[in-house]
Chains A and B, each alone.
Chain A
C-alpha cells in the first residue's frame, strides 16, 4: 500500500513539474469559458459581418442565442479537449519504457500492478477533474446569462460524454501496456475509436457503441430519451473495465 502511495505521489509530481498539469488546467478552463463566450458573441459577430453578408445575398435578421447554443459549443469543443488530453498523456507509460526508469523501481520491489493502478488513477483523476471543471464553468455562465430551464438532461448528457472519455483513456492504458512507443498508443486508441464511430453509422447498431455517448446534443434538445443511452453506457463501462483488467496481467509479463 505504501509503495502504491509513493508511486502515485511520483506520478502527480511528474504531472506538476513537467507542466502537463498546468497545460491541462489552462485548456479545460479556457474551453469552459469559450463555450458561453462564443455563444454570447455570435449575434455581435453576425452584426459585424452583416454588411458583407448582405453583399453576398444573405440577410441577417435578429439572432437570439440561448443556453442551448452554449451547450452545443461545449459538445463541439470537448472532443478537442479529449484529443489534447490523450496526446499529452500518451507517453505516460512508453516514456518510462524508453528511458528505463521503471527498471530501478521494479527491481527494488515495486509490484508491477501498482504501476498500472497508479498511472490509471492519475489519468482518470485528471480527466474527471478537468472535464467537470470545464463543465462547471460552462454551466455557471449559462445559468447566469440565459434561462437554463430550456436545456434538457444537462447533467446526464455530460455524464455520457465523461464516460466516453473514461472509455478512451482505458483503451489508451491497454495500448500503453501492449505497445512500446507512444505512436502505437495513439494509433491503437485512435483506430478503435474510429472503428466504433464507423460501425456507429449503421443505425441499428449505433446505440450499442460507446461512441453513441458523444451525441450530447440530442439529449440537451430532448430529441432522445435517456433510456436510449443505457445500453451504450453499460457497454462502455464493461469494456473499460475489461481493458483495465487485461492491462494488469499483460503488464505483469511485459519485458522491460
Chain B
C-alpha cells in the first residue's frame, strides 16, 4: 500500500509556478529520498502534504485519507521535521517533548516513558539545558524525537542533514535507518551520498514535477550502461591498448573506457593477460545518482 500519494499537484506563488503536476507515490516502510536542486519545490510539496499550504490543484492522500488545508486531520499520521526546526527556547528538551505529547493527547505515563525512550534514541537523554543553547545538530535530533513521538505512520523530514557536519549527518541518518521498521520515511535532500546510504526509493524533482521515481536498485539497473573502465600502471600500456582496440576512449590519466558492445570483456582481459599489462583498476561503470541527477536536471 502507498502511505502517501500525490496526484497532479499544482502550486504557484504569484508569477512563479513552483509545482507543475507533481505525481508521487511513497510505499509503506520505505525510506523515500526526495531529491532536487534548491528551489525545485521540495519544501512546497511537503508543506502542502502537511496542510500548511493550500494547493491550487491536485490531490493528496495520506494513509488513504484526503489531506485538507487548514484543519488537517491527516497530520495525526504524520511526524514532521522542518528544515530548520524551531522550538520554544525557554523549555528544556524533555519539557518540549512532554508538551508535544500532551498536545497529541497522550496519557501521562505513556508520555513520560516515550519521552525518555526518544531522548535516549537521539542522544539527548542527559541534556538538562534549555533549548536556546542548543546547536543545530542537537535541534535537528530533538526535531526527529518530536516527530516520532506519537508513532507516526509517515515521517517527513525536510533536508534533515543539509546544515550539519559529517558527524551530525551520520547520527541523523543512523536514526532514520533505525526507525524504518516502525514507520515510512520521506526525506528531501540534495546530498546524494545520504540517499545512496539509506534510501530504498527515490524521486528526482525538477521544475516542479517528478522526473523519474522508483526503487533505487531498479533505477540503478535501468540506467546501467554496459561500460567498463580500466586503469593501467604505465602510460605506454594505454597506447598499446588503444592501438589494439581503437574504439576505447581515453579518460584522464592512464584510464580508458569502452563499451561491451564494441569489445567483449573477456577478449580485453585475455589481451591484458597475454601482454602482462599490470592493472590498477578494472570496473564496471555503475550509474551514480550524481550522473542521474545531472541528467534529470539538465532536461
Contact = CB atoms under 8 A, between A and B. Distances in A.
Given A17-B90, A101-B88, A107 B80 contact: yes
B95 to A, nearest CB: 8
A18 B90 contact: yes
Contact of B100 (A13, A18, A108): A108
A232 B73 CA distance: 42
Nearest to B83: A100
Interface stretch (B48-56, B262-270, B274-282, B291-299): B48-56
A253 B86 CA distance: 22
A217 to B, nearest CB: 41
A178 interface: no
Interface in B39-80: 50, 52-54, 70-72, 75-76, 78-80
Query: In the complex, which of the residues B75, B78, B82, B103 has the most CB atoms of chain A within 10 Å of its own CB atom?
Result: B103
Given A3-B103, A6-B99, A108 B71 contact: no
Query: In the complex, which of the residues B70, B76, B91 has the most CB atoms of chain A within 10 Å of its own CB atom?
Result: B70
Contacts, number: 79
Given A3-B104, A107-B78, A108-B75, A14 B86 contact: no
A107 B75 contact: yes
B107 to A, nearest CB: 10
A255 B51 CA distance: 10
B90 A7 contact: no
Interface string A88-102: 000000000001110
Q: Is chain A's binding surface mostly helix, strand, loop or mixed?
A: helix
Given A14-B90, A104-B82, A104-B146, A111 B104 contact: no
Contacts of A76: none
B102 A2 contact: yes
A256 B103 contact: no
Contacts of B104: 3, 108-109
A103 interface: yes
Query: In the complex, which of the residues A6, A107, A111, A253 has the most CB atoms of chain B within 10 Å of its own CB atom?
Result: A107
Contact of A10 (B82, B86, B88, B150): B88
Nearest to A17: B90
Contacts of A237: none
A10 B99 contact: yes
A93 to B, nearest CB: 14
A256 B91 contact: no
12 contacts: A6-B102, A7-B103, A13-B95, A14-B90, A100-B82, A106-B75, A107-B72, A108-B146, A108-B150, A109-B76, A112-B71, A256-B52
